[in-house]
Structure 1
Amino acid sequence: MTEIGSPVAAPAAPTSGGEGSQFDSTAARKQWQVILRRFTRHKAALVGLVLFALLVLFAFFGGLLWKHPYTETTRRYLPPSADHPFGTDRLGFDMVAQIIRGTQFSLQIAIFVAVLSTIIGVVLGALAGYKRGWVDAVISRFIDLILVIPSLVIAAVLVRNSFVASVAGGGGSNWLIVALYLGLIMWLSIARVIRGMVLSLREKEFVEAARALGASTTRIVFRHILPNTVDVIIVNATLAIAQAVLLEAALSFIGLGVQSPDTSLGLMISLNKNELTLHPWLFFMPFLFIVLISLSVNFIGDGLRDAFDPRQKRVKA
């Protein structure tokens, strides 16, 4: 008989066939179902996901459907109308076509930056946290050094270097240079976060067991430790997209970012900043798209953070 007040063991979950591996896969699927359910119940995250998907479709496929190509010119400074919903700029280019092209460049820069900064930050942060000692000291001091040097000084050197531009840009195109610069300075925060998590995970029993079995450092870090930080990696990579859009816009606004023949939303704002009083649509339209991209990605990041948070009580497991 069971004593009063003592816990009663829960019945074992039924399995078809009684295989342990099948039970494990079912448990794994259940965990992802809970994460997905938490994300879908986050209304702002869903709105952000839909909005970001529409912006991506607009940027990469809008030019195929829009009637005015970005190279076509007409009358200058036409106000918004049925034929030109966003008007025309000082050279007579249709602003819808220009914003489609600018959004495409801004998004491809942001995605490139998010991938590059995440890879660098995760690898260096994991090595610093796992190896500790002189490896941790070198990486940590290098991070501190980059944080001390003014970012605009590094930007001026990288973006204006004609040799790098000729090699990486190809014929005057410099968006890749801007993306590389942003990727090389935006990995600092995620490296610090991953380092702190790895410092804690390296003392866990499963890591000790892998080390005792003779697993290499590379296998322990990438096979056993980093999979346990995937939630932090995903959230930080998502938020890096929004940060990259804003940083690229700031650099382009002060003349250190994307240059012609490339374009971006930040460059469009910079070129039209003097038109704010006479032709405000030239300034506010690209500004609006920067705000929409940043808000949508931040909403997605908030939803992912809540979905992966084990302390989240929005959905009962």
Structure 2
Amino acid sequence: MVDTTATPTVAGVAFEVQARAQWRTILRRFVRHRAALAGMVVFALLLLFAFAGPLVWTASLDAGQGGGKLPPSAEHPFGTDRIGRDMLASVISGTRFSLQIALVVAVVATGMGVLLGALAGYLRGWVDATVSRMIDLLLCIPPLVITAVLARNTFTLAPSAQNASNWLTVALIIALFTSWFPVARTMRGMVLSLREKEFVEAARALGASTPRIVFRHILPNTVDVIIVNATVTVAQAVLLESALSFVNLGVHRPEASLGLLINENKNELATLPWLFWFPFVFIVLISLSVNFMGDGLRDAFDPRQRRVRA
């Protein structure tokens, strides 16, 4: 909706009334949701930390550069691990790879879920039956089991992947085989409702093609659901990738995700707790900040929402 300005007259006095644009209402609700606003600030700082951090903190990630097992100090704020890697540099790198994986998963899974869910809901028939049964079947299997089996088979069939860049492989496995199901199921329900609306019937009566009806008339009315599902997918991808890396089926050296750092230092929890807690705290911060943002976006887009929660 765009801003429009009218000039009504009451008792001979003219005054201007400006309609409030829908996006301004959504923005106002989001800004007044203090937890969501705090989550957005924290997530922005995490992005800055991960992608601009290497420009500020230039410590080497090579083993033995800082001396083994040093506690936090001015020279090494997060200490060093058992083979002398600077822990702050490792956490910066791990946060960057974890966020890259989460963002790729969010884009791929949301796009795939939106497309399949919209087609299933609009076309119905065998398309709906096929997509729905596939979702029902795969939702019966825990996501960690699916991704662990696929990751293990992938790295077994391609042993060189253990020593090569594999974060993108992990991201695609998570996106294609676990993360799009909830998005598709939600979109299917939304499209089933929207396909019976008058504006869709009018477009169909005017001879609009199926792709035009789906992409030009139905999907724009589900933007709120898409955005909220994308934010939720980011948080879920971070946790799932961390779990995979923790059991040594995710990211491998020379790359390092936050889950891999926890896996490498889990045995040091009693003697060198900072090696475990620093990456753990960053996983929690990413998950909480994204969940708070998704909660705020859901409330902001909800037309029934009348009260903004603190």
Instruction: Answer yes or no: is the 8 Å Cα contact 2:170–2:250 preserved in 1.
Output: yes
> 1:111 maps to which residue?
103
Which residue type is aligned with residue 294 of structure 1? S
Which consecutive residues of structure 1, in runs of 5 or more, have no partner in the other structure? 1-11, 16-25
Query: Given the two structures, how large is their TM-score scaled by the length of structure 1?
Result: 0.87
Select 1:125's aligned residue among 103, 117, 126.
Answer: 117
SS at match of 1:161: helix
> 1:224 maps to which residue?
217
> 1:136 maps to which residue?
128
Select 2:85's aligned residue among 64, 88, 93.
Answer: 93
Instruction: Map 1:135-284 onto structure 2 (within 5 A).
Output: 135-151=127-143, 152-162=145-155, 165=158, 172-184=164-176, 185-284=178-277
Which consecutive residues of structure 2, in runs of 5 or more, have no partner in the other structure? 8-17
How many residues end up aligned between the 2 structures? 293
Which residue type is aligned with residue 266 of structure 1? G
> 1:14 maps to which residue?
6
SS at match of 1:187: helix
Which residue type is aligned with residue 172 of structure 1? A
Which residue type is aligned with residue 301 of structure 2? F
Which residue type is aligned with residue 187 of structure 1? W
Task: Check 1:233–1:153 CA distance in 2 against 1; reply closer, same or farther (3 A cut).
Answer: closer
CA shift for structure 1 position 165: 5.0
- Does residue 38 (structure 1) correspond to residue 29 (structure 2)? The answer is yes
CA distance in 1, matches of 2:270, 2:148: 31
CA shift for structure 1 position 171: 6.3
CA shift for structure 1 position 157: 2.9
- Does residue 48 (structure 1) correspond to residue 69 (structure 2)? The answer is no
SS at match of 1:186: helix
CA shift for structure 1 position 119: 0.4
Instruction: Answer yes or no: is the 8 Å Cα contact 1:159–1:165 preserved in 2.
Output: no
Task: Check 1:79–1:158 CA distance in 2 against 1; reply closer, same or farther (3 A cut).
Answer: closer
Instruction: Answer yes or no: is the 8 Å Cα contact 1:114–1:241 preserved in 2.
Output: yes
Note the aligned Cα RMSD (angstroms): 2.1
> 2:11 maps to which residue?
none
CA shift for structure 1 position 164: 7.1
Task: Check 1:39–1:280 CA distance in 2 against 1; reply closer, same or farther (3 A cut).
Answer: same
CA shift for structure 1 position 82: 1.1
Which residue type is aligned with residue 218 of structure 2? I
SS at match of 1:104: helix
CA distance in 2, matches of 1:251, 1:154: 8
Mean CA deviation greater in 218-227 or 138-147: 138-147
Which residue type is aligned with residue 74 of structure 2? A
Select 2:56's aligned residue among 48, 51, 65.
Answer: 65
CA distance in 1, matches of 2:157, 2:220: 36
Task: Check 1:298–1:137 CA distance in 2 against 1; reply closer, same or farther (3 A cut).
Answer: same
